[in-house]
Amino acid sequence: MWTIDKLRTCSESEDKVEFKKGEHGNISYDGGSKIKPADRRRCILGYVTALCNELGGTLVIGMDDYYPHSVVGTTQNEDRIGELEANIYRDTGIRPTIYELYENEDLKEGRVLVIEIPARPTGKVFKFEDVALMRVGEELKPMSDEVYLKIIQEQEPDFSQQICETATIQDLDEKAIQILKEKYAKKQKNPKFLTLSVEQILNDLDLAVSGKITNAAVLLLGKETFLNMNFPQAAVMLEYRNNESQIPFDNRIAYRQPFYIMIDHLWHDIDLRNGSFQIKEGPYIFDIPYFNEEVIREAINNAIAHRDYRRNSETVIKQFPQKMTIINAGGFPPGVTIDNILTVPSTPRNRLLSDVLSKTGIVERSGQGIDKIFYNTLSEGKKAPDYSHSDPFKVELILSASIQDKAFALFLESIQQNLSEDEKLSVFEIITLDKIRKGCGLQELDKNTIKQLEDRNLIEKRGKTSGIYYILSRSYYEFTGNEAEYSKKSDWDLQQVVSVVIPYLVKYEKAKMGDFVTLLDGHLTRRQVRVYIQQMLESRILSSEGKGYGTYYRISDSYKESSTIVHKALSIGMEELKKRGEIK
């Protein structure tokens, strides 16, 4: 953290500090009403973007940029620092650290606002108004093609493979080494491994190179005192709170042991507050834990293997009675996004560390850990794992303990218990079943997976042509205790819906969505009714007026003119047409 005295004498270029005194000590947040792009960039968001692209730096508002930097003062975001921090994160995806300093602390005079900007992730470029920025003297310029290309072609170095110059074999924990030996021997079915010397083991696993100890060896096997002194960011913090709105924690434990010792202690403490839901339904009796051990261990293993150890923040686990959040430094590995997290094989950020964990049976091959997290969570009828709060600087995983759909858990259990290991449902089949359960449309479903589920008789097709959708098989509705709902999932198509809706609108002129739901009850679900009404709007059979709950639907003028039956019905009435036998 900076002080006024340090800031007075620092160099803008060498210390990567940008001083701005602005107008009356303040500068624009986002360029305001300035017309020229060059003028708009000279704002808080512009400097934050450029400094982040330069691997971090500090924006100081309220000090002169001439050396030695004197205090001019600022009222920039006075009493609203938290708001500024939140707005910058919202608009750039960059999470700064913001604080204020005073030239005269006692009198609170000479206020200076300090915005510390983190370094961009490897290979990532940030933009302001769709332009990648860099500082050139006193100006903020579009990044040159040469610099931009150099950044996006960057590859992250394997931190775990690098040598820890201060470490020796005496800094490694004997108990952790013994655990590694036992797990490797068991996983590789090689009992002779237990007889090897420590030096031989380290060399065989590439944890030592020419007698020098790697960072991976220290993280996995290092003594607690050595880790605490040399890798404080490798700690895992477990915080427990009795409710999700609570800010201060009820209990906090720091784990600074080598991984092979720490992981069991950590799970033990999480499990102390773990409970379970008992599921009883006919022959099916089993417990579903609030927090599944395999899910939690895989999530923590991923955090350890993929986190960016060059950043100074620890891995934080926030445990609540019905929810858990796991946060670790560094965004997703290159090429991985929230959308493709299950389909793209990831490149571990710490490859050597990940390889050793794999060889000792702690983690599966690349990508399978995420599969297990989704597989087990959805199989228990819980919400899907949520990565939506992740950003380029951190990965945040939210796991829900509560069961959303007991029937879905029973449905899957009844399927899986009769299948051999190689026949069991894949994670993609379970995800697709969950999507169908929630009523997702065809555009959100994978065709190949749908075919596999149809062949297994786990889903059923409904509707015709453009109105096709899928439902879960009858056994799911048996578990819900509402087989009537299954009966409602009819084979009606758009034309059948039109044949019911149009006479209704001829009689009543207009209707709300709720009227259609009531009219078609017993044949279509509410969601299906909405889909068909939307199709009728797109086909200009209907028109709408109003918004939200106040929306009314009518027969469109173009359909009245094009449909002979509708035209007659409007002129002589539906009952007369029935008498004539022109309609049923």
Residue % of the chain over a pLDDT of 90:
57
Fold match flag (238-401 vs 494-580): no
How far is residue 513's CA from residue 327's CA, in Å, rounded to a whole number?
A: 43
Contact (CB, 8 A) for 283 and 478: no
Structure tokens at 545: 């007026």
Is CATH 3.40.50.10140 correct for 4-152? Answer: no
Residue 415, CA atoms < 13 Å, CB-side half-sphere? 25
Residue 156, CA atoms < 13 Å, CB-side half-sphere? 25
* All residues at 6 or more sequence positions from 407 whose CB lies less than 8 Å from its CB, including other chains: 381, 476, 479, 480, 481
Residue 480: other Cβ atoms inside 10 A: 17
Given this model, what pLDDT does residue 579 score?
63
Which sequence spans correspond to the domains of the chain? 4-152, 159-232, 238-401, 408-488, 494-580
Q: How far is CA 525 from CA 78, 405, 532, in A?
A: 53, 18, 11
Fold of the domain spanning 238-401: Heat Shock Protein 90 (3.30.565)
Contact (CB, 8 A) for 308 and 315: no
In 3D space, the residue among 542, 557, 467 whose CA is nearest the CA of residue 511 turns out to be: 542
Residue 482 sits at φ, ψ, to 5 deg, of -135, 70
In 3D space, the residue among 316, 368, 330, 317 whose CA is nearest the CA of residue 160 turns out to be: 330
CATH code of 494-580, in short, is 1.10.10.10
Q: Looking at this protein, which amino acid is placed at residue 316?
A: V
- Burial profile 154-171: b = 16 or more Cβ within 10 angstroms, e = fewer: eebebbbbeebeebeeeb
Q: What is the mean pLDDT of residues 518-530?
A: 77
Q: Report the CATH architecture of 408-488.
A: Orthogonal Bundle (1.10)
What order do you get walking across the sheet with 97-104 strand by strand?
17-20, 57-61, 109-117, 97-104
Structure tokens at 344: 């793209």
Q: Is the pLDDT of residue 236 over 90?
A: yes
Q: Is the pLDDT of residue 583 over 60?
A: no
Given this model, what pLDDT does residue 299 score?
94
Structure tokens at 203: 């060399």
- On average, the pLDDT of the chain sits at 88
Lowest mean pLDDT among 8-17, 202-211, 262-271: 8-17
- Look at 495 and 128; give whichever has higher pLDDT: 128
Q: How far is CA 31 from CA 34, 61, 128, 503, in A?
A: 6, 15, 10, 58
Model confidence pLDDT, tens digit, residues 313-364: 899 999 999 999 999 998 888 778 888 888 877 677 899 999 999 999 987 6
Given this model, what pLDDT does residue 156 score?
79
Structure tokens at 250: 């009820």
Model confidence pLDDT, tens digit, residues 464-509: 665 678 889 888 888 887 766 666 665 677 888 888 898 889 888 9
How far does Cα 288 stand from its chain's mean position?
24
Model confidence pLDDT, tens digit, residues 69-102: 999 999 999 999 999 999 999 999 999 999 999 9
Model confidence pLDDT, tens digit, residues 197-212: 999 999 999 999 999 9
Residue 351 sits at φ, ψ, to 5 deg, of -60, -45
Whole-structure pTM value: 0.74
Given this model, what pLDDT does residue 348 score?
76
- Written as one string, the DSSP assignment of 196-264 is S-HHHHHHHTTSEETTEEBHHHHHHHB-HHHHHHH-GGG-EEEEE-SSTT--S-SEEEEE-S-HHHHHH
Model confidence pLDDT, tens digit, residues 381-431: 999 999 999 998 999 999 999 999 999 999 998 888 878 888 899 999 999
Lowest mean pLDDT among 20-24, 273-277, 499-503: 20-24
Helix (H) or strand (E) holding 141: strand 139-142
